[in-house]
């Protein structure tokens, strides 16, 4: 369903336990939450969380009336639903970021955290996200930066062949990319966003520092250092908030019954017994276990 674009598929993965379990990344989790809180608007009607995973950060979006969690992996969404519950404020949607099943201008905010580093065509994904956002909406993006202190030192010492200062993304492992901060800024502008603020995150991501310095102190120091993000970016993770520009803002929020669109043809969808049917191409999209499934038509 993603045409020729490869996807880093988390289906069935034990990401939550393997990556976030055991507490060794509590520092990263805490500083990411701080950055997200700083960049999100105080509230709104509907927010899109792209690549929501198991819903680690979804609680930070609680000030919105509705939160739409999108992920390519059904198993991640099932985990998110188990954690967050069947609250009507949450909509769980299995879909590909390159083909989002939503009407244009459906969201007044969006986030994409720890996802773009898996995308082989980041500009196409950003363009698709922009399409679903209303002019004036806020988009908070986290990306893995190639121009961080460790990469610079490794490069200068001859231990790394790629140049952390060059603009092009580096694929350091299959479907794992690091980006130059200027590349991301340019990509956002290209698709209709105006970058407004950057925060640098995880300044002290080093096993020794994490072992020697109390977590609270490390988090406090990072939260201060984040504020230099508009001046220089030398951390492995950068958060950037942008505003959707161009176009007219519709007077009203798009109602939920016309929120979804066919990801294949963009046609309107009509509710039927087991899900939604496209009035344009006739494809049927199932709702199963509380998850709207737009990965494959029935």
Residues that bind ligand SAM (CB under 6 A): 7-8, 10, 51-53, 56-57, 71-73, 76, 96-97, 113-115, 118
Structure tokens at 57: 């950060």
Closest to ligand SAM by CB, 75 vs 194, is: 75
Shortest distance in whole angstroms from residue 153 CB to ligand SAM: 25
- State the nearest-atom distance from the C-beta of 269 to ligand SAM, in Å: 19
How many CB atoms within 10 Å of residue 11?
A: 13
Q: Based on CB atoms, which residue is closest to ligand SAM, 124 or 253?
A: 124
Judged on CB neighbours under 10 Å (0-12, 13-18, 19+), 86 is exposed
Kindly tell me which of 113 and 218 has the beta carbon lying closer to ligand SAM: 113
**Which residues are within 8 A (CB) of 33 and not within 5 positions of it... i.e. 6 or more apart?**
57, 60
Would you say 68 or 282 has its CB closer to ligand SAM? 68
Q: How far is the CB of 24 from ligand SAM (least distance, A)?
A: 15
Residue pair 213/235 in contact by the 8 Å Cβ criterion: no
| Least distance from ligand SAM to the Cβ atom of residue 224, Å | 23
Taking the complex as a whole, how short is the minimal distance between the CB of residue 294 and ligand SAM, in angstroms?
10
Strand blocks (E) in the chain = 44-50, 64-71, 90-94, 107-112, 133-144, 170-173, 176-178, 193-201, 237-244, 269-272, 275-278, 284-288, 291-293
CB of 157 to ligand SAM, least distance (A): 29
CA 114 – CA 84 distance, rounded (Å): 20
Q: How far is CA 224 from CA 13, 93, 173, 204, 217, in A?
A: 34, 36, 32, 12, 11
Cβ proximity to ligand SAM, 115 vs 262, nearer residue: 115
Nearer to ligand SAM, 213 or 286 (CB): 286
- Contact yes or no for 200/235 (Cβ under 8 A): yes
47 near 133, Cβ under 8 Å?
no
Residue nearest ligand SAM (C-beta atom):
53
**CB of residue 115 to ligand SAM, shortest distance in Å:** 4
Q: Is the dihedral of CA 120, 121, 126, 132 positive or negative?
A: negative
Please, which residue, 60 or 108, has the CB nearer to ligand SAM?
Answer: 60
């Amino acid at each position: 369903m993603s045409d020729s674009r490869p996807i880093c598929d988390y289906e069935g993965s034990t990401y939550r336990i393997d990556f976030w379990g055991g507490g060794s990344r509590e520092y990263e989790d805490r500083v990411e939450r701080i950055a997200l809180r700083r960049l999100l608007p105080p509230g709104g009607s509907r927010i899109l969380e792209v690549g929501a995973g198991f819903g680690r950060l979804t609680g930070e979006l609680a000030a919105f009336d509705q939160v739409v969690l999108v992920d390519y992996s059904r198993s991640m969404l099932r985990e998110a639903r188990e954690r967050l519950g069947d609250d009507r404020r949450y909509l769980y949607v299995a879909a590909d970021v390159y083909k989002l099943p939503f009407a244009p201008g459906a969201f007044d905010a969006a986030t994409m955290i720890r996802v773009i580093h898996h995308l082989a065509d980041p500009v196409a994904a950003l363009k698709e996200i922009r399409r679903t956002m209303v002019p004036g909406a806020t988009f908070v993006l986290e990306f893995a930066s190639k121009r961080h202190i460790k990469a610079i030192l490794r490069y200068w010492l001859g231990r790394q062949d790629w140049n952390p200062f060059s603009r092009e993304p580096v694929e350091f492992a299959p479907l794992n990319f690091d980006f130059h901060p200027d590349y991301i800024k340019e990509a956002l502008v290209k698709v209709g966003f105006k970058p407004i603020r950057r925060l640098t995150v995880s300044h002290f991501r080093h096993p020794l520092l994490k072992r020697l310095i109390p977590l609270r102190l490390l988090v406090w120091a990072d939260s201060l250092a984040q504020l230099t993000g508009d001046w220089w970016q030398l951390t492995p993770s950068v958060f950037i908030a942008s505003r959707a520009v161009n176009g007219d803002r519709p007077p009203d929020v798009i109602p939920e019954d016309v929120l979804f669109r066919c990801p294949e043809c963009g046609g309107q969808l009509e509710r039927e017994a087991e899900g939604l049917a496209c009035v344009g191409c006739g494809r049927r999209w199932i709702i199963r276990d509380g998850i709207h499934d737009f990965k494959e038509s029935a």
